[in-house]
Structure 1
């Protein structure tokens, strides 16, 4: 392989989301239902715009509902496999607050995502300093419906969060999240697994149904 060694990289939110920042920031996000409704909406818009997978995440202040950051999956737009929605939301929150520890000074920040984080984002969420994780669901549905490989998660994944002082809530906005995944899976959108096991399983499931 003949390539110039890279010395930096960057990733940005898509233009359509940047253009909507003011309106989204004005939305009420005081309840977990409102937060997840926004996450599911962004996830659906994201894959339809071609930026990446049907995933979105936000970081909010639990007490006030103030929006700290948003993230969508921009793997296709950036060409970077690590640029999942959680990675974007957590990194942008850290940039906005000027610190790597989002729980510093007693901050009580919540990461809301439209499904359980993949194995990469699981670690990222654990080390970012958020104090709560709210997800629409967990389990095999996302892999079955979309073909994405979420990686080998520990059986007691939620307990590992809880033991580190991170509260976990599951099931908020579940049905809406499933509809987003189902629409993605029925489309011809790109499934970008570098190792295609989940894609093969998804195609086999389609043939059997």
Structure 2
């Protein structure tokens, strides 16, 4: 539903619901303009807010503009890039790392703990880039740093199970779990920045 506050009292603009696959919408008294036409052009898998804004509904525009300006989008196809950031949080013992552990635990996907462990054999990348004079030193340092966080450390997930459970590294963890963790990380970062 979408409720606006033009005074201290809330005003319902609309309430969209789905019961047994049947979607319906109820409009509040403050929703002015075309209603049936806007509802008719709204697909089952899209937001009414988006459809109404695209159609130029004046009553929706302030809410749509506020949300469009304040929501950070995260390209889900690149969620693995967020894992390097998560590794840094765990290595630096950041409070958000513990929040991520709690979130993944409460997501009830069978994980009750996380850890970051150092991998072997990739720490000398910067030295191997030194001979490449065409790469500026600053770029070599950046490449080495990104590589270190991406490959020198690995995330481990502790799964509940019989006895003490078991640990899985990120290569053996499901893509869904890693995507959820990346989403949680982005959400916490957004919430912490207001």
TM-score of the superposed pair, with normalisation by structure 1: 0.21
Which structure has the larger Rg over C-alpha atoms? Answer: 2
Higher relative contact order (CA 8 A, sep 6+): 1
